[in-house]
Amino acid sequence: MGFSNLFRKKTVQNILKEVEKNNADGHNSLGKHLTARDLTAFGIAAIVGAGIFSTIGKASSDGGPAVIFLFLFTALACSFAAFAYAEFASMVPVSGSAYTYSYVAFGELIAWIIGWALIMEYAIGNITVAISWSDYFTGLLESGGLHLPQWIQMDYLTASNGFTDATALMQGGKSFENLDAGLQDAYTAWTTSPVLGSFHFVADLPALFIIVLITALVYRGMKESRNASNLMVVVKLCVILLVIAVGVFYVDTDNWDPFAPNGVSGVLKGVSAVFFAYIGFDAISTTAEECKDPQKDLPKGMMWAIIICTVLYIAIALVLTGMVNYKFLNVGDPLAFVFEKLDLKWMSGIIAVSAVIAMASVLLVFQMGQPRIWMSMSRDGLLPKKFSRVHPRFKTPSFATVVTGFVVAIPALFLNLTMVTDLCSIGTLFAFVLVCAGVLVLQNKPNIPRGKFRTPYINSKYIVPVLLLAGIIYAFHFNEKATLEFINNTPQVNEPTTIVTSLNKDQTTEVYQFLIANDTENASANKTNDLEQILSEYHNDSDKYAKVVESLPIDASLKFETGFALFKHKIPMYIFLVVLLGLTVWSWRQNLSLIPLLGLVCCLYMMAELSVWNWIYFFIWLLIGLAIYFGYSRKNSKLNFNQE
């Protein structure tokens, strides 16, 4: 078997023929129930969730009212990718999403890689949403007077890490009452949990409950899932419109001044969080085989979902930043928070209920998408035949759905929310990049059957080089300081919390005594033993803070991030810049289509904004996938048998 076989491709004609032969192989066809309206509702169900009920608060706190431009940028990037998805879905109207499209454009190995990445996207995305749902659900129970023990409503990693950080901060003089609420909960969960030897039993049981419930619904049938999704979408849209309608009367336009308090960097700081708010529209493409008219309805469903959600996000962001100052919005439940702050507790209760519904609808769409990816890979022989088994009565991929339930439920008990959010984002962005690249690869190839929808063609030959030149001028003329610091790898001062949590007990005492002895006016004025608070008071003046940190009697590695420890976080951005130069040359030579090229660039940029650790974890996941491919999938591929 030669190297070229790794990139053997499927043709669109063969894919469509295989679908017709599924009944003969015992793979019953999926039921066709979905219209453009249903697809739009699925898109809204997937998109309107954690973003509008949670991450919008942090993004608004970083960027101020100008965060609306971040929502516009992210919506534009997702729209570019949606054009590419819609073109492929129109060309290849079967289940499988980006996996199937990559099989046509790039060949088997790349298709396997993207399929494996999509498995991570949906599995990790489901875990993320389940954990978020658990947080809202337990909060709702507590507001009703029912208090669950902390150790059954928190994941293991959050409790363990939170206990370590809380212990370090209290060692530095901070009282338990002054700890962040999340650290208090983590400390309580860890110290009150049942212990077996040295193992603490901390597990998110509400997350397990919702996953089991949603998996059962998805197993039961597409029609039932569609009806449940549509109902939940109606409920949460009504609540969001109510929030806008009530909140607009409490908007104080003075809160919109300054509009961009932290500049462009402040707005872009929340790019990953806001992108997570849009994840889900691509899940629509996994249902292509269950659409009544996929070539017409899929493009409509994707575009309308993105447009409607963007309008809602912008309206909510303007209302939130108008009701209260942006500085107060760095909370986990910003919608409920602003109404509670204005003493409208009845609205807070309504929002809490709708958040629980919103999270459940997102989980429903994500839990529906992953089994269909596995089913498509199984049909091609890349996974065991059981994964493509369709239930004779319910017309759903039954075995794959059950396995998905286990794959999501078990990690949800133990994994950290931040980790899974970033992993979900990088897996999704990687899929977007390959789908956009796939459209570019196929744009000039003959003998490719085209669907009813095709991305409008705009020649990028001159536009992309001009945009690149404009970016260089901006970087070195308008943002010179940050650009030179990036290039020169200028040492960065650690945050107060980072410094304090990295000290042992003796170092903590030494640093505290040093600050008091050297006349730290803030410390003497506040009479506090809280080391983290003392350092934070200097943090408002960056130059003064840097001088104070530099004088501390501890090792420089605890005070600054320098050398390779700092440079490694810039590696993703350097990868982006190198690829950007290559794409510019490619666009000049091949007259590439502008829209999918911009989608590729925007999504790759957002990948570069994620930390290097997410890239490393993602790379490890891909290595595991490659081991499975070369150990099982390559020799069992149907293309392998066809060529023998």
pLDDT tens-digit profile of 541-586? 777 888 888 888 888 888 888 888 888 888 999 999 999 999 999 9
DSSP string, 133-148: HHHHHHHHHHHTT---
φ/ψ (deg, to 5) at 325: -65, 140
Cα atoms found within 13 Å of the Cα of residue 38, Cβ hemisphere only: 21
Residues 6+ apart with CB under 8 A from 423: 120, 124, 614, 617, 618, 621
Verify that 170 and 132 share a domain, yes or no: no
Residue finishing a domain among 439, 469, 488: 439
365 pLDDT more than 80: no
Calculate Rg over the CA atoms of the chain.
26
The token pair at 602 is 């925007």
172 shares a domain with 290: no
**pLDDT number for residue 1:** 47
Q: Does position 98 have pLDDT exceeding 80, yes or no?
A: no
Which residues make Cβ contacts (< 8 Å) with residue 614, sequence separation at least 6? Answer: 422, 423, 425, 426
What is the residue range of 95's domain?
Answer: 33-143+207-439
- In tens, the pLDDT along 233-262 reads 777 788 888 888 888 888 888 888 888 887
Cross-strand bridge partners of residue 200: 195
Residue 387 lies in a domain: yes
- Residue 383: the pLDDT is 86
DSSP-based three-state secondary structure for 537: helix
**Beta partners for 560?**
493
Residue 18 CA, chain-centre distance (Å), reads: 33
In-domain check, residue 598: no
Instruction: Convert the pLDDT of each residue in 390-404 to its tens digit.
Output: 777 777 777 888 888
Residue 593: DSSP 8-state: B
Residue 185 and residue 285 in one domain: no
Residue 597 banded pLDDT, cuts 50, 70, 90: very high
Decide if pLDDT at 23 tops 60. Answer: no
70 and 180 in a single domain? The answer is no
Check residue 600 and give its pLDDT. 92
310/536 Cα distance (integer angstroms): 36
Measured CA to CA in angstroms, residue 69 lies from 263, 272, 573 at distances of 12, 14, 22
Task: Give residue 272's identity as a one-letter amino acid code.
Answer: S
- pLDDT-derived band at 644, boundaries 50, 70, 90: very low
Number of H helices, E strands in the chain: 32, 4
Distance CA 137, CA 388 (A): 34
Q: Which residue has the higher pLDDT, 53 or 524?
A: 53
Shared domain check, 122 and 50? yes
DSSP 73: H
Contact 366, 283 (CB under 8 A): yes
| Cα(56)–Cα(561) distance, integer angstroms | 29
pLDDT at position 466 over 80: yes
d(CA 399, CA 372): 11
Q: Cα separation of 209 and 134, whole Å?
A: 9
96 and 188 inside one domain: no
pLDDT band at residue 31 using 50, 70 and 90 as cut-offs = low
pLDDT at 159: 84
Q: What is the pLDDT of residues 304-338, one digit of tens each?
A: 888 888 888 888 888 888 888 887 777 666 777 78
Chain centroid offset of residue 58 CA: 14
Strand duo 492-493 + 199-200: pairing: unpaired
358 within a domain of the structure (yes/no): yes
Contact (CB, 8 A) for 638 and 380: yes
Same domain, 39 and 161: no
134 and 172 belong to one structural domain = no
Structural domain contains residue 151? no
Q: Which amino acid is at 459?
A: N
Round to whole Å and give the CA distance between 307 and 297: 15
Q: Which residue has the tokens 């669907």?
A: 451
Residue 202 has pLDDT above 80, yes or no: yes
Asked whether residue 168 falls in the same domain as residue 238, the answer is no
613 found inside a domain: no
Q: What angle do CA 625, 630, 632 make, to 5 degrees?
A: 90
Q: Which tokens sit at 435?
A: 């789908």
Contacts 24+ apart (CB under 8 A), 416-419: 416/155, 416/157, 416/158, 416/161, 417/128, 417/131, 417/132, 417/155, 417/158, 419/157, 419/617
* Residue among 146, 125, 175 at smallest CA distance from 417: 125
Residue 525: pLDDT over 50: no
Top-ranked range on mean pLDDT: pick from 425-434, 524-533, 616-625 = 616-625
pLDDT tens digit string along 167-188? Answer: 888 877 777 887 777 788 888 8
For residue 474, tell me if it sits in a domain: no
Cα–Cα distance for residue pair 443/546, rounded to 1 Å: 53
Q: Which of 420, 439, 458 is the last residue before a domain boundary?
A: 439
Q: Are residues 329 and 191 in the same domain?
A: no
Task: Read off the pLDDT of each residue in 80-95 and give the average, rounded to a whole number.
Answer: 73
Tell me the three state secondary structure of residue 491: coil
Quote the tokens at residue 583. Answer: 């794409």
pLDDT (tens digit per residue) in 509-519: 888 888 777 75
CA distance 294 to 317: 34
The pLDDT tens digits for 110-121 are 888 888 887 777
What's the rounded Cα separation, in Å, for the pair 75 and 172? 44
Q: For 160, left (φ over 0), alpha (ψ -120 to 50), or beta? A: alpha
Distance between CA atoms of residues 563 and 546, nearest Å:
18
Closest Cα to residue 217, out of 205, 201, 228?
228
Q: Among 9-18, 113-122, 618-627, whose mean pLDDT is lowest?
A: 9-18
**Structurally, how many domains does the chain consist of?**
2
pLDDT reading at 18 higher than 70: no
* H runs (alpha helix) in 150-251: 156-171, 181-192, 205-220, 222-247
Concatenating the DSSP letter of every residue in 332-370 gives S-HHHHHHHHTT-HHHHHHHHHHHHHHHHHHHHHHHHHH
pLDDT in tens, 262-316: 777 777 777 766 777 777 677 676 666 667 777 677 778 888 888 888 888 888 8
Q: What's the CA gap between 240 and 509, in Å, rounded? A: 50
Instruction: At 376, give phi and psi (nearest 5°).
Output: -65, -40
Task: Output the pTM of the full model.
Answer: 0.78
Mean pLDDT estimate for the chain: 79
Q: Please give the Cα distance from 417 to 419 (Å, whole number).
A: 6
Q: Looking at the domain assignment, is residue 267 inside a domain?
A: yes
For residue 608, what is the enclosing H or E element? helix 594-608
Q: CATH code at 302?
A: 1.20.1740.10
Query: How does residue 22 score in pLDDT terms, banded at 50, 70 and 90?
Result: low
Residue 329 included in any domain: yes
> Which residues neighbour 540 within 8 Å (Cβ) at sequence distance 6 or greater?
none
Q: For the stretch 41-53, what's the b/e string if a residue is b when 16 or more beta carbons lie within 10 angstroms of its beta carbon? A: bbbbbbbbbbbbb
393 vs 142, 220, 420, CA distance in Å? 41, 9, 35
* Proportion of the chain in helix, strand, coil states, percent, rounded to 5: 75, 0, 25
pLDDT at 404: 84
pLDDT at 578: 94
Last residue of a domain, one of 423, 439, 455: 439
Question: Are 418 and 330 in the same domain?
Answer: yes
Confidence (pLDDT) at 94 = 58
Among 61-70, 409-418, 423-432, the minimum mean pLDDT is found in: 409-418
Contact in structure between 423 and 613 (CB atoms under 8 Å)? no
Instruction: Please determine, for residue 618, whether its predicted confidence score (pLDDT) is greater than 80.
Output: yes
Hey, which residues does 291 pair with through a beta bridge? 34
According to DSSP, the residues that pair with 199 across neighbouring strands are 196
- Are 93 and 191 contained in the same domain? no
